[in-house]
Structures are given as structure tokens and as C-alpha cells.
Structure 1
Amino acid sequence: MTPTPALRQPCPPGACDCGREALLENADSDARILRLTRAEEKRLLERLENLESLADLEKMQQRIYEQLGLRVAVAPGFNEVRSMRGMAVQIDTLPGLCRKTRQAIPTAIRRALEKRPEIAYSLLNAHDLFRDT
């Protein structure tokens, strides 16, 4: 008998717009995101805040997609990048993804970029820093 994976507890009514119930009702939907319990979310955010390199960030993006079905894209913003707030962190809208988690992941990535600016420089170089010159 295989154990059922732990699912995230529902948010209080009216506090979130994640669509958890609709996701659970639809048998054909991808419910991997619901495996992100609050404890696992804390581990993920801690791991994202302690990134070591651009390769580490890319590896984490790939693992998040493989395990949760969530695409996270990090790139320099459209306008000038003067601080880590200028980095665009895009997360796909996904049924079952809590509103707080949608906000916490970009915050954790920006904290990592502030701690290790060499990751941001590598990211800028990877996206052609001198494209307009």
C-alpha cells in the first residue's frame, strides 16, 4: 500500500484565490502544486534565499518545474536595472498556488541576488548586457 502524499492545508476562506477546491475536484488536473506543504514551502524559500550561482538558480528553476509544475522565470527587467527590484521574476499562474507563495518566491530570489550580486551580474551577462551599444 503506497502512502498518500501530504497535501497543503486549505487557506482560510476569503484569504486566498488559489482555486484549491476546483483543482481537487477535477481528476484530469495537475495537482503537484498541492504537495507544497507549508513546511516544504519554508524549505524551498530558504533554499532559494541561499543560492550559490546562476547555475544553481537555473537548477532550482528546473526542479521547481519538475516537482511542482510551476515555471519561474528570472530575467533583467524591461527598463534599467539599478537594484535587485529591477530584476523581473515571473511566476506562471497556476491553480492551487497560494497567493502568499506567489509573492514569497520572487522575494526569496531577490534576497539571494542581493546577498550574492555576482549571480545578478551573471544573469545580466547571460541576457546580453550590452545589447543596445
Structure 2
Amino acid sequence: MSSSTVVRQPCPPGACNCERDHLLAQPAPDLRILGLTRQAEKVMLEHLENIQSLDDLQRMQRRMYEQLGIRVQVEPGFNEVRTMRGIEIRVADQPGLCRKTRQSIPAAIRRALEKRPEIAYKLLDSHDLLRDT
């Protein structure tokens, strides 16, 4: 890793389960996630909160994976979806990903879906909302 690369500061001991030390101890670690500084995280969460369409959400999911290695799945829940809470948003476990960030990403996406319910309707429709009719 070059010295010009900005790396996120470690979490206080005992405050997080991000396994940063385990990541750094690996022989060929994927250090992309450590480039997510607190400022970059704020920008990413702001972008997630202000998505305008399902395409924007999917584009953000791709960018988060390509740039940081973060895998986010957004899909209708197993049971009936009556509210935005019925939409499942999962962030895959990843060494180096802070616990707070892992919780902030779904919260930002939920806020976006609540602001723009048409995105949730498109998401439901893309997963064959009317399959049982």
C-alpha cells in the first residue's frame, strides 16, 4: 500500500468487531475497505439517502462493491411486504468493515425508500410482485 493512500483510522479497542487486524495480517489482503474514511463514508451515505431511482440504487451497489468490496443486497423479504421494514437490506460480513458502517448503510437505504416509495415499488415489481396472481 502506498503512503499516499488515505486509510481509515482504527476503531477504539473493544468498540467494534471489524477485524481490521485480521485483515492486515492476511498475506494478500483486499485493503479497498480501509480507504473508506469517515468523510468518504458520510458522502457515500448521503448518496444512498438521495437515490432517485432503482437504477441509482443498483449503480450505488455496484460502485460500493467495485471500489470498496462491500456487498449489499436489497430485496423483498420472505414474507409479505407491507412497509419498508419488509424489504431486506443485507450487508455482507467483511473484514475491515466497521460495525457502525454496516448498520448505517441499510438505514440510509431505508430512508431513501421512505422518501421515494416508487423505488420500493419498482424493486418489488423487479422481483415479480404479481407472481401468485
**Structure 1 segments unaligned to the other structure (5+ residues):** none
1:25 offset after TM fit, Å?
2.1
Q: Give structure 1 regions of 4+ aligned residues with deviation exceeding 2 angstroms.
A: none
Which digits, 9 at most, give the CA deviation of each residue in 1:11-31, with x for residues without a partner? Answer: 011000100011112231111
Amino acid in structure 1 at the alignment position of 2:75 = A
Which residue of the partner structure matches residue 79 of structure 2?
A: 79
Amino acid in structure 2 at the alignment position of 1:13 = P
Residue 44 (str. 1) matches residue 44 (str. 2) = yes
TM-score, normalised with respect to structure 1: 0.96
Which residue of the partner structure matches residue 62 of structure 1?
A: 62
Residue 5 (str. 1) matches residue 23 (str. 2) = no
1:91 offset after TM fit, Å?
1.1
Residue 123 (str. 1) matches residue 95 (str. 2) = no
Which residue of the partner structure matches residue 88 of structure 2?
A: 88
**Structure 2 segments unaligned to the other structure (5+ residues):** none
1:38 offset after TM fit, Å?
0.4
Aligned positions, number? 132
Structure 2: how far apart are the matches of 1:58 and 1:93?
19
TM-score, normalised with respect to structure 2: 0.96
Structure 1: how far apart are the matches of 2:97 and 2:86?
24
